[in-house]
Structure formats: C-alpha cells, structure tokens
Amino acid sequence: MKFYRSHILIGIDDASLAAGVKEIEAILRSELQKNNLSEEINILETGTLGLFGTGVSLMVYPEQTAYVNLQKSDIAEIVEEHFLKGRPVHRLILDNTLVRKYDFNYKRRIVLNNSGVIDPENIDEYLGTGGYEAWEKALTSMQPEAVLQEVKASGLRGRGGAGFPAGLKWSFTAPIKAEQKYVVVNADEGEPGTFKDRLIMEGDPHKLLEGVMLCAYAIGASEGYIYIRGEYKLCISRLEKAIEQARDYGILGKNIFGSGFDLDIFIKIGAGAYVCGEETALIESMEGNRGTPRSKPPFPGVAGAWQMPTVVNNVETLANVPAIITNGAAWFAEHGVEGCTGTKVYTIMGDVRLPGLCEVDMGTTLRTIIQQYAGGMKEGKAFKAALVGGAAGVFLNDQRLDVKMDYNSLKEYAAVLGSGAILVMSHSADMVDMLWSVLRFFRHESCGKCIPCAKGTQLLYKLIDGIRKGKGKESDLDEMIRISNGMLKSSFCALGQSPCMPINSAITNFREDFLARIK
Amino acid sequence: MYKQIFGKYTPKKENLIYILHEIQDQHPEHYISAEAIKIVAEYLSISESHIQGVLTFYTMFSTKPRGRNIIRLCESPPCFLKGSEDILRQLRQLLEVKIGETTADGIFTLELCACLGVCGNAPVMMINEDVYGDLTEAKVESIIASYRGGK
C-alpha cells in the first residue's frame, strides 16, 4: 500500500456538486501535480463532510483542517502554503471559534461513522473498516433466529418516523412459510427538511446493503428491493455500483460464503409522490401502480409486495443493524435512553450558524443539538421555534428546548421525533406563513384516495390562506383544529392523520402570530 | 426508441415506471405522448387508462410537451423559510411564464416541486438533473443566462 503524507477528503454530495466541487477538484489535482506533490498528497472522494451552506469544503488529514467556501482562485494558495510549505491558510479554515464549537461526534456515530471518511464507491474501503463482518458472522455462525433475537434485544426502533420496534416487525414475517419473501428498503425520503437517508446512501452505501442482507437472512427473504426517490440521482448511481461490487465479491448471489443462502438486491425508482413513503403505497408503486395506500390488515409483513410477506424498513433503521450484529445488542443499548436505544441522525437547517447533519444519542436535547452540533443560532438571531419532524411534525417553542429528543419523551408533549428533520426559526419567521407552507404541501401531496384527507387538506389550506391574507376570523383557528382532528380519526393513512400535529402545535404555541393577522 | 427501451425491460407491469422515465428522458420535449401510452400499453399488456392514471399521479411525469430544460423549484417549508417565494417571483419575471408553462422559445419549463432533500442549501432548484442551492437573485440570473447561452 502506498503511503501519503496527507489525505485531502473531498465530500461529494448533491450540495457540494451544486457548489461546483468537481471543478475545484480538477484544479486541486493539477496544482498538486504542478508542485510535484501528487505522490505525497492523496485526494479521496468521500460522502458528505457534514457541513452545509459552506460551499465546497475540504478536510485534510491527519491535520484535521477543514477548508470551507473555497473558490477556484483559492486552490493554488492552499497547495503552495499548506501542502508545500506546511502553513495552513487561516483565512479559509472553518472559523476557529466554530471548530471548537462544531462537533462531528464521530466517536459515538453508528450509522454515519464512515461517512466523510471512506470512499463510498470502493468496496475495499468498506471492508477495511470492518464492513461485511456482521454478514459473514451471521451466515457462518448464527441461525436466522439468533440474528432476529439480537435485533429485538437491541431495542432498535424504526427510524422512518413511527418508531415501531424493528425486531418485532421482523418477527411477524420470519415464521411465515411462503415461496418468496422480500425485504424492501424505504428510501423514498420525502418529508420536507429530511435528507438523512440521502447522506447515508451517498456516504456509505455498503452499510445499507449489509443491513438489508442481515434482515433478509433473519426473515428468510431471497430478494431485497431499495425503493428510492427518482430525484436522488447520486444515491442511485452509488447504490448501483455498490450492488455490482458486492455481486462481484460473492457477498451477494447464490450460496453466499458456502452457507446455502441466496440473496440479490435490486433498485426501484420512484417518480415523485410523498405518499409513497407510506409502506403500502410504496409497495403499490413498486408494482407499477398509482402509489395509493392499501387497506390494512393484511399488513405487509403478511401480504406485501406481490402479496408475499414483506418487511419494509427505513434506510437508517437497516444501517444500524450491521453494528448490532458485530458488537451485540448490549453495546447498542449503551447508546441512547431506555426504551429508545441507539443514535439518531438529524438534519438541522434554518437560522442556525452551521446547518447540516449530526448523529447523536437518542435523548439528546434540542438545545444541545442546536448549540453543540449546529454552531448555535445565526448571529443576531434568537430562537423562536423549531419544526421538528418535517411537515408531519410539530412546532416547538423555547419552552421545549430541554426536552429529550426520543420517541417516548416527545410523546409526553404531543410531539414526535418523526424523521429527524429540525427546522430552526428565529423571530423573523411568522408562524402563519410557515403553517401556510406546510398545509400547501399537504394539499399538494394528498393522494386523493380517501375523502377526509382529500377534502380536509383543501379546506385547511383555504382557511390558512384566508388568515394569511388578513381575511380570517378567530373561529377559523378552532375550525382548523376540529377538521384536522377529524382527519386524524378518519383518514386512511398517516398522511391525512398528520396535519393535526403542525396545526395544533402552531396554534397552541404561537397563537399571538395568528391573532396578529386576524385583527 | 421504444424498441431499444423495451429491450432492457421484461414486459411486466412492475417495469412501467422505469419505462416511462426512460421514454420521457429521451423525448426532446420531455413528456409522454398519447402515442407512447398506446405503445407501452401494448407491450406490457395493460390498459391505457392504467398508464394514464400512473402518469397523472406522479409529479415527475408530464403528459404535455415541455421545454428543453425543466426547472423545478422547491416550495417546501425549509426553502420557503429561506425565501423561495422571492425566487419564484423572479423566475416568473425572467422567463415570462406562469407555473407549469413553457417559455415561448421552448428553452425552459417552470415547475414547482416538493422537498429535494438538499435543505442545507435552501432555497434550492433543480434544472434537469443538476441541483442549484443557496439561490440568490444574482445567482438565479446567471444560471438562467448560462442555459440561455446554450448550456
């Protein structure tokens, strides 16, 4: 193996591509060449570095220097000063005060521990971090039942939003005898403000594949499908590559590791419909139909894709499984809080200094997440509200900053963790406008299958639009709560059951914003 | 075109969305024509109405001819908070179209879309397969100009 003096990590993701990372990378290569440094300094393409809104960023190891907001004209200077003369270019380094405040938390990461560190397009790098050890361990020394029990014992809960225990879900499907069973990955990430699954798939696609493999083994499925948004082009191409590499290495295929177990994984691409994040709608879409939800029961665990027993899990859920099998349930349960074990990946955006992602233990407070992992509020801005969980989430006020973020604790405040999206708002944000935007989203995304949701989302939008235009009455607020609570009770799927959460929380916690528009 | 696409997919209904994606991507006007619906229905042995239903359900498909470049501006709450409404106003003015319309010269179609998952860089839009983030009025103007210049 070749030895390099320094490694420059370049995060390639949708955000950095948009900022022109490829051009910068080309210049960097040619500058290193010009200075005869190509043999000493290595350039590595990796997944997200976890910084957003900072344009093109580079991370230099072993120095651990983060360069941000790079322009084409900066590169020659960095190469000459930093790599030739050994003097980091301070004016381009992520603000020193921020470095101290900004915490990547790699030590506690489970899902994103490789993201931003390894080359996601190279299976050898994943293997080098201990990748596919869990898969080998399971196939060569564990019964499927033992894998299932380990996941059950870990307390892992679904990370898609509802928080249903993953092991329990698998245990419905495992004992069923059927000619075919399936694992389906829900990668139709559409909850506004959520992009954690994109980062997992872009940064460490093999980890997801290994999770699918372990699930397939535990429940006895020989086919896996990853249903992914059509918009996620980079994820699709990285996963396709990863699957191809796994097949080449005999990690996927027939009689894997001589165990007699067969498995292959395929990608299914969506075409833009929020409701397809609902597991039965997703299955309908996979089968080539309109993505409308099915009546339950039967649940997918019994009769899912093509009417066969199917486990549908979120990307983040499955990406936790390899570490659970490698290190054991007890190790996993050391992360997080009782009843809500492990870590959670959050995407934080809005009026914070460093919008981006973080993976922290379940039960970390909203205050810690904002202060420690998002650099605090933007200069001159004070916290007013956070929309936690996306459009199907809740508006929290500053009274809730110290609530522990996990499925159980948030429930006490009629709040949800949802997908882990945190949209932070300062006093310049008006809750009437924000709720209007949320309800416009639901109006657009209602699939039209059931009347409560199809009609309800229209009515709700009409009411909030009236208030926003100054034509509302105070009784409209009660009417919105009444309608959305009715939808909660009578809608066919979670989409129609969701608007009550942002509505109730916005009107209860920020009533003065609404009254200001009414009078 | 159809022959080449059908060569990649067995005639099963589950392949419908893939086939439609490919036909739309390859069509210079980025849409699924009535003729295409008929041919696909025949290949997959499903009804034309089923295909029509699928097409109108998913936002990425169009049954109307569109421009060479499709602009999809995100209108979800995170982008809204960061001023996507102003960007929309500017785009409508620059392109002289309403939402869903194509410019007279056929270069652009303006559409809105739900969250693209690039919220760290809100406001965001996608033109064809490229994502543009941290949009400002100046940035939008230069992006549009670069496409007009034949990008």
Cβ neighbours of residue A502 under 8 Å, at least 6 residues apart? A387, A391, A392, A393, A394, A395, A435, A438, A439
Contact A193 B77 (CB under 8 A): yes
Q: What is the length of chain B?
A: 151
What phi, psi does B54 have (nearest 5°)?
-65, -45
Contact call for residues A7 and A45 (beta carbons, < 8 A)? no
Q: What domains, with CATH codes, occur in chain A?
A: 6-94 (3.40.30.10), 123-334 (3.40.50.11540), 342-426 (3.10.20.600), 431-518 (1.20.1440.230)
Which tokens in the block code for residue B49? Answer: 């109405």
Q: Compute the mean pLDDT over every residue in chain B, rounded to the nearest whole number.
A: 94
The pLDDT value recorded for residue A100 is 39
Whole-Å CA distances, A20 to A57, A70, A72, A168, A302: 11, 10, 9, 45, 47
The pLDDT value recorded for residue A99 is 46
Find, among A393, A395, A386, the residue nearest to A442 by Cα: A393
The pLDDT value recorded for residue A103 is 64
Contact B117 A15 (CB under 8 A): no
Q: Is B74 helix (H, G, I), strand (E, B) or coil?
A: strand
Report the DSSP beta bridge partners of residue A431. Answer: none
Q: Within 13 Å of residue B134, how many CA atoms lie on the same side as its CB? A: 16
How far is the alpha carbon of B12 from chain A, nearest alpha carbon, in Å?
Answer: 9
Contact A18 B131 (CB under 8 A): yes
Which chain A residues are Cβ-neighbours of B75 within 8 angstroms? 437, 440-441
Report the residue from B14, B53, B120 with minimal CB separation from A355. Answer: B120
The pLDDT value recorded for residue A276 is 94
Contact B132 A18 (CB under 8 A): yes
Closest A-chain CA to B117: A195
> CA quadruple A295, A296, A298, A304: dihedral positive or negative?
positive
Interface of A with B in 223-252 (CB under 8 A): 229-233
Which chain B residues are Cβ-neighbours of A202 within 8 angstroms? none
Report whether pLDDT(B97) > 50: yes
CATH architecture of B69-148: 3-Layer(aba) Sandwich (3.40)
Which chain A residues are Cβ-neighbours of B53 within 8 angstroms? 290
Contact call for residues A460 and A480 (beta carbons, < 8 A)? yes
Which chain A residues are Cβ-neighbours of B76 within 8 angstroms? 192-193, 391, 437, 441
Find, among B75, B92, B57, B58, the residue nearest to A436 by Cα: B75
Long-range CB contacts (< 8 A, 24+ apart) of B89-98?
Answer: B90/B137, B90/B140, B90/B141, B91/B140, B91/B144, B94/B140, B94/B141, B94/B144, B95/B144
How far is the alpha carbon of A289 from chain B, nearest alpha carbon, in Å?
Answer: 6
The pLDDT value recorded for residue A184 is 98
Q: Can you list the positions of beta strands (E) in B43-150? A: 69-74, 108-113, 125-127, 130-132
Which chain B residues are Cβ-neighbours of A384 within 8 angstroms? none
As for the ipTM of the complex, it is 0.94
Interface residue ranges in chain B relative to chain A, Cβ cutoff 8 Å:
12-18, 20-21, 44, 50, 53-54, 57-61, 75-78, 80-82, 113-122, 124, 126, 129-134
How far is the alpha carbon of A381 from chain B, nearest alpha carbon, in Å?
Answer: 14
pLDDT < 50 stretches in chain A: 96-101
Interface of A with B in 347-386 (CB under 8 A): 347, 349-350, 355-357
The pLDDT value recorded for residue B91 is 97
Contact B16 A288 (CB under 8 A): yes
pLDDT in tens, B65-76: 999 999 999 999
Q: Is A436 helix (H, G, I), strand (E, B) or coil?
A: helix
The pLDDT value recorded for residue B51 is 98
How far is the alpha carbon of A387 from chain B, nearest alpha carbon, in Å?
Answer: 9
Which tokens in the block code for residue A11? Answer: 């995060």
H or E segment at B94? Answer: helix B84-95
Domain limits, chain B: 2-57, 69-148
- Mutation target for B interface from A307, A308, A349, A434: give the one with most B CBs within 10 A: A349
